[in-house]
Each structure stands twice: as structure tokens, then as C-alpha cells.
A and B are shown apart, each in its own frame.
Chain A
Amino acid sequence: MMNMKSKWEKNLIIVMFIGLVVGSWGMYQRLAYGHLPMNYGSFVPWGLWVAFDLYFLGLTAGAFLITILTYVFRIKLLSNLGPLAVFTVLVTLMCEVIIISLDLGHPLRVYRFLISPNIGSMLFWLVVFIISMWIIYVPWLYFLIREQLIAWGNDATRAGHQVYRFLALGKTTYTPEDQRRDSRRSRFLSFISLPIGLIFFGAHGAIFAILHNRPIWNSAMLPLIFIMAAMLSGGALITFLAYLYQPSDELIQPLGRVILLILLAFLFLEALQLFVGYQSKITGIVTSLDLITVGPYWWVFWIVHVLIGSLVPAYLLIRYPENSKLVATACFIIMVTFLSVRLNYLIPDMAVYKLEGLQNTFYHQRLRTEYAPNLNEWLVSVWVISLGLLTFLLGTRWLPVIQAGKGEEGHV
């Protein structure tokens, strides 16, 4: 199993390196020519990268959930996954920050959030919470893996032991007192992360929900749907990772049951949103919903999301709840196809002309509502995903996030 996994990991690392190389073309286009080679415009100002930002947010949420269950609610079953989950939060946050920075017209001006903030803007608060998550999770990971870092630093036979010694800030001993202190610090950070994390995930939904000119988004239900969506995609990620790194039926099967429940609840909320939207018979809402269900990209909703991303995993989770491999497969499918959900939340509301006659005014590709991501946008996304996965895979090899998990009962 380990050899297979190791081989599988190595192959994935090679694929991710190829992804980085291929995606570099898109990165070059973005860095050299700005937003010019991209397809989004002024009427659909947010495109694939914002959808990916939401997608990464969902993955962050899943990992966040595990950290909370492990360190706040002290669920022993998940304790081995604790440090891995904290590390996953950081990697997915990194991907989110990179892709959303690339989406900015002037990413080098992010310091403006500090020197001229608008505290009335939801987007400002989102950035505050992103920074807060970093401030919490970086030291938290450090405290969780410090013991192993010191041990690896002391092991002269280990390649790069000097780097581990450096990361351990030169410390060579780890006393029970140190362990107690780190455990206290971890627990303190986990308690802070709970409200910060919940607001962070809710704030993402609120960014869209507060806009009263956007009929699909402008609903109190949207932040809730966002939290559910985040729990579903993130929970699926963590179940899949648990299968890879801690393949025990005791852990995977209950996680599978939780994912099934979240999936059904999420589908119910989605159906409710469609039902209420269609029954309102308001042109703006119905037109946007039609774009999702019968528009040119109907297959993204019906085939990718409903059929492959929901019905197939639901069938697997209901029919084979005892089969960890199939549970993990179902979770993998949910995780991969979830981008379709994010795209369907983001694009259709913007893809309707907000004033009658606007489509006949000024002909330019940036002033149209027809949007499909172009190759450059996909390549940049491939680059960011490859970087994230590579960071994750190399991080789990080079940092003691899995090894630290094995002695995690002390922290929990």
C-alpha cells in the first residue's frame, strides 16, 4: 500500500510539474499583458478565477472543519488528521490568495487595504479574515509539528536535517513542559479559529448576498448555501485525504455518512432556491435560472453537477457505505465536479443585461454578457492548482505533518 501510494504520489508530483510548465504560458500572458488576454469583461467582471477562489474556499472550509472537530471538540477519531488538516487549510488558502490576487487589476496595491480601508465594504472584511486565518494557522501548524521538527533536526542521518534545525529555531530538546505549552497554544489558536473561520466562510457568501441589484444572490439564504457548499466540497476533500493518508474504515465510513447528509441537505437547498426563484416569476431571476438549467451551458448543471457530481456519489454513498474505497471515490467525484456549482453561482446572475436595451448599445466583446473562460484563464488555473497540489504533496513529504499526527493524541 505504502509503495503504491509512494509511486502514485511521485507520478502526481511529475504531473503537477508538467501542470506548472504548461500553466506558465497563461501566467506569462497574465503577468505580461494584464487582463487583456482574458475573456471576462465589464458586464461579467468576475470569471473563472473568482469561481476557483470560491472553490478553494470550500476546500479550506473542509480542512477547517476537521481542525475544529479535532482541537475544539476533541474528537479522537480525527486526531491523526489534525496537523494534516491545518496544513491543508494553509495550502488551500495560499491557492485562494494567489488566484484572487491575479484577478485584481492592480495586485501590487493590496497595501491599500491597510492604508485606506473601507470598513463598510464586505470585501475589506474578507481580506481581514483571510489575513486572520494566516495569522492563526501558520503558528498553529508550527506548534503542532515543532516536536517532530526538533527530532528531525537532531537526526543527522536525515537529508536536510539542518533545514529542520533551522525551522525549529535551533532548538535541540523538546521537554514535556514544551509539549504542554505547545498543546496549550494550539488549543488557544483552535478556539480563536472557530469564530474567525465561521465569519470568514459566511463573509464570502455575504459579499454576493448584500448586492440588492443581483436577484439570485440577494438572499439571506446565500451565506448559508455558501457554508453548506464549503462543508460539502471541503468535507469531501478531507474524506478523500483521510482515505489516502489514514485508510481506516472506522474513520472513512462515518465521514462518508456525514458527506451523504451534507450532500442531500445541499441538494435540498439548491432545489429550494430554484423553486423559489422560478415561482417568483421575476424576469431577472427566471432569466438567470434559465441560463443555469436550459442555457448554453445546461450540461454543466445537469450532467456535471447533478448527474456526475451528485447522483453518482449519492448512489455510491447510499449503496456502498461500508466500502471505504467507493466512499473515497464518491468524495473525489464531489470534490472535482464542485467547480461547476461555483461557476453556476457566479456567472448566471451577471450574465443577464441589467437594463433593457443595453445589449444594443455599444458593441464590444467586453460589453457582452456571453462569457466562457478562454485558454489563458484555464492555464492560469492549472498553474495555481498545480502549485497548490505540489506544495501539498511536497509538504507532506518534507514536513512532518503526517508524522506529527501520529502523536497527536497529546495535543488533542
Chain B
Amino acid sequence: MIKLQEALMAKALPQEDPLVRMQRDLKRALQKNPKDIKWGMVIDIAKCIGCHACTIGCVAENKLPPGVVYRVVLEEETGHYPYVWRRFVPRPCLHCQNPPCTKACPVTATWKTEQGVVIVDYNRCIGCRYCLVACPYAARTSDFGEWYTAETAELPGKLYGQKAAANGYEAHPAAEYGKKWPERDHDSPVGNARKCHFCLHRLKVGMLPACTTSCVGRATIFGDRTDPHSLVYEMIGSPRVFVLKEELGTRPSVYYLK
């Protein structure tokens, strides 16, 4: 009787939160030789509820200024009233295995790492924006030096007003790429191309990317796509899998499930 109950419960209740499994996968991946890791992501659009939590999680994690966004959620509407459907397609950088953006950069300021992550060296980028033009997925944005607090009124004192508000948040950039960046003014990353980097600074310390942990519907699966025991590997093998703009031959490392 007890065995029957357990069997029924096992089917009826969630087995394990995918986050727990991904965390375990990540831990295992980090024990490998870094050269043997190939990070990848699978986004199950059937599970995406269009809450934009991943966008917000990413913006908060990387302290992105206005107009800079690494991960957006595309909203597509089909059908006619009253038979209307909406579909949500989160779009981070697809970390193409054949990236057009890195080939475009004239000063090798952007490249694909051994782990398959396309990154930008902010101190090398000259800000020509050719990579933005070359990216078929509009996954790169330029940092024009905007401030959320630009319109905030200045007030005397250290607690309120424009300077105080800026100092409390956006004046101090996030530790992208695991580096400490100077206080935000005219220097990099202002004037640079910026993009999703799979939260490399988090991966380094054993944490999943911000978009993955913030995904309410567990639609985003992340891990080492070469590890046959990982969830991401399993998902890539799904018959529902597809990639964006396959015809361009960019071979993205971000896959989608229909």
C-alpha cells in the first residue's frame, strides 16, 4: 500500500526543481578542465509565461543603464480576436558557435572563449558598433552613457537627490567579467558594445546565470552542453528543439523548445 502511494505521488508531485539539478550540473562542470566545458542554454517557450523576470534579473545583476539590455523577451501575437494567442521568446545573446560579430570587430575586442561564450573586452573596444550591425539577433547594445537618475532633481545633503541616488546604485558598475570597474562616467563600458556573457562572473563562483535563477516558469535551462548527464544536454536532444535563424549558419549555443 505504501509502495503504491509512493509510486502515485512520485508521478503526481514534482520530482526535483530543475534549478537544483542545474546547480548540481554546474558543480560537476566546474570540476572539469575549463577547456572541456561548453556552456549552453535551452529555453522552453512552452513554459515561458512572459513575466520578463529574466530581463529584470539580468538588468539588476549587471546594473545595466537605460537603453542597454542583454536579454529581452520577444512577444509575438497570433490569430484574430477572440482567438488570439501570445507567444514569448526570451532572447539573450545566442553565443553563436560561428559568430558574425567577432569576425566584424576590427580590433579583436570581442571573441569566443574556449567555453563557447562570446565576450567583449571593454578596454579594447573602440565603439565602432560594427558588431551591433553584424549581429543577426540584435543581441548587442551600445552603452551611450545614459543614467536612470538623469532627470532626478538635485537636493542638498547626502541622502536625497540625483547624486545620492546615483551613488546608491548606478554610479558603481557591476562586477561584469569578474572585474572591478571604475565609477561610471565617460570611461568603459560607456561607449562600448555590451552583451550577455552568460553571467561569467557568477559561473566562476558556482552560481547559475541571473536569468536562469529568476525564471519563474523554469523555462530557462543552463549548463554544460557537452556533459551527457546534464539537463541542458538532455533538452538539446529533444525533438522539439530549434534555433533562431538557422539558415544563417551561426550555430547558436542557445536552443529553443517549441
- B-binding residues in A (CB < 8 A): 33-36, 38, 41-43, 45-46, 103-107, 109-110, 112-113, 116-118, 120-124, 126-127, 207, 211-214, 350, 353-358, 360-362, 364-367
Contacts and interface: CB of A to CB of B under 8 A. Distances in A.
24 contacts: A35-B127, A42-B140, A42-B142, A46-B129, A105-B190, A105-B191, A106-B127, A109-B124, A118-B107, A121-B106, A121-B130, A211-B133, A211-B134, A350-B133, A354-B137, A354-B138, A355-B137, A358-B138, A361-B69, A362-B55, A362-B69, A366-B142, A366-B144, A367-B141
B105 A121 contact: yes
B75 interface: yes
B146 interface: yes
A35 B126 contact: no
Interface string B189-226: 01110000000000000000000000000000000000
Given A109-B126, A213-B134, A366-B146, A116 B107 contact: yes
A315 to B, nearest CB: 37
Interface residues of B, number: 49
B95 interface: no
A42 to B, nearest CB: 4
Contacts of A350: 133
A343 to B, nearest CB: 16
B126 A117 contact: no
A361 B54 CA distance: 12
3 closest A-B pairs by beta carbon, nearest first, are: A105-B127, A105-B191, A213-B136
B78 to A, nearest CB: 10
Contacts of B91: 355, 358
B100 A105 contact: no
Interface of B: 55, 66-69, 72-76, 89, 91, 100, 103-109, 124-130, 132-138, 140-146, 186, 188, 190-192, 244-245, 248
> Per DSSP, are chain A's interface residues mostly helix, strand or loop, or mixed?
loop
Contact of B126 (A106, A213, A214): A106
A360 B103 contact: no
Contacts of B244: 355
Contacts of B108: 116-118
A207 B69 CA distance: 26
